[in-house]
Structure 1
């Protein structure tokens, strides 16, 4: 998508977003790319969004959603690694460490709610925050040092909803509990583990395909996803969809 004009991006994404609406600032969002390296090739977890949704209806996506700032208050077994935290909030910005923590924890919470996968350490956990009671019930305390920052993308203008999305990754080995019935919400259906190439052939949004390409390149040169790696940042600037490294 790099270098495409706004009209070209609109055409490429016309099935992914409801166009129109008044100008708005994008809201923080978090997405988690779970990676399974148990076989001969790495697989990613994706699920289909319901076709009634205004945002990416019927598309296969990674678990994720809008960031809840209150998630920053949820206790964790380990913090974000400093080199990951710095890039998540944006180097040289006034964004706080609490914002990075909220983004990371929202990705973990959404993965539980949508896929029934609890990432963290098996140990007693207490919080009264909504959305986290499954971690309390199953005795899982979230761990943030497992997460790796993979990409960032801001939804172009002209959509009824806009998000500033951070794509984070974790290994399936980091999942402490897998609920056989899936997550408690109905946000995603048809959950499946696919190789990166097979996932790119699924009915996915254009930006998801772009991030999968970035992920494949990253894994080829950095199979263990070492922390502090520069990541691509996609956004619309001066009528062009640009890619910078942050």
Structure 2
């Protein structure tokens, strides 16, 4: 039986959107069949915040409205959450959300990124969704979802050769085809929000915050501007 006291870990996810001849597409990969969390599901790149993420100096900062919303009911700084999202994108896909610049003193966990001669750049990230994994799961996360236009990546959009092996079958999935995949429930919700707001510039009017408790599931909205 799953321990109901599983701690909730802070996490960050990047939803990279790319305009193609067939319409908008999103970068996704498949988790391994033996993964402890969401095995064999198709997901966005992302993962838990590392302790060192808070100390990362970003080459470009977050939109102030997004930063203000990320700070709501959070023990993590907005910059730590953005850095975690960028790091996870790099580790799981080999894609670089960065700005060209030397980084000779990069800390452990970021040295592969630094060897590309880039520093992490959060200026293209938009905070669009937050969700907490419900009780009864082997792992629980308080996940913040960011969107990023693929044109902001400083890497070949079709080259995943530098990715680690946590996600397989990395590909650009058309938005109108995602519902045919094996998706986590919350991923389906996030994708529905994306389709509803596709083409809108700047931060959304508010950010959905989904909490799935033991007895009820509830949405609230994170409002506010910087």
Q: Same fold (TM over 0.5)?
A: yes
Alignment partner for residue 165 of structure 1, among 127, 130, 143? Answer: 143
Alignment pair present for 1:30 and 2:8: no
In 1, Cα distance between the equivalents of 2:36 and 2:214? 26
CA displacement 1:146-177 (0-9 Å, x = unmatched): 10011101001121211000111101111102
Q: Secondary structure at the match of 2:17?
A: strand
Q: Secondary structure at the match of 1:128?
A: coil
CA displacement 1:22-50 (0-9 Å, x = unmatched): 41331101111000024341110110000
- Residue matched to 2:26: 44
In 1, Cα distance between the equivalents of 2:172 and 2:33? 21
**C-alpha displacement at 1:237, in angstroms?**
4.4
Cα-Cα RMSD: 1.8
Alignment partner for residue 82 of structure 1, among 48, 64, 73? Answer: 64
CA displacement 1:97-153 (0-9 Å, x = unmatched): x62111111111111111010112122223332221122211111111110011101
Q: Secondary structure at the match of 2:23?
A: coil
Alignment pair present for 1:136 and 2:114: yes
- Residue matched to 1:155: 133
Alignment partner for residue 97 of structure 2, among 119, 124, 127? Answer: 119
Q: Is the 8 A contact 1:84 1:227 kept in 2?
A: yes
In 2, Cα distance between the equivalents of 1:150 and 1:158? 26
In 2, Cα distance between the equivalents of 1:102 and 1:120? 15
Q: Which runs of 5+ in 2 are unaligned?
A: none
Alignment pair present for 1:218 and 2:200: no
**C-alpha displacement at 1:59, in angstroms?**
0.5
In 1, Cα distance between the equivalents of 2:124 and 2:8? 27
Alignment partner for residue 216 of structure 2, among 240, 243, 246? Answer: 240
Q: Secondary structure at the match of 1:167?
A: strand
In 2, Cα distance between the equivalents of 1:40 and 1:225? 21
Q: Secondary structure at the match of 1:107?
A: helix
In 2, Cα distance between the equivalents of 1:238 and 1:203? 24
In 2, Cα distance between the equivalents of 1:138 and 1:210? 34
- Residue matched to 1:230: 206
Q: Which runs of 5+ in 1 are unaligned?
A: 1-18
- Shift of the 160–148 alpha-carbon distance from structure 1 to 2, 3 Å rule, reads same
Name whichever of 179-188 and 193-202 sits farther off. Answer: 179-188
Q: Is the 8 A contact 1:154 1:234 kept in 2?
A: yes
In 2, Cα distance between the equivalents of 1:139 and 1:199? 34
- TM, length-normalised to structure 2: 0.90
- TM, length-normalised to structure 1: 0.83
In 2, Cα distance between the equivalents of 1:212 and 1:127? 38
CA displacement 1:56-105 (0-9 Å, x = unmatched): 00010000001113112112211112110111121xx4x46x62111111
In 1, Cα distance between the equivalents of 2:23 and 2:104? 37
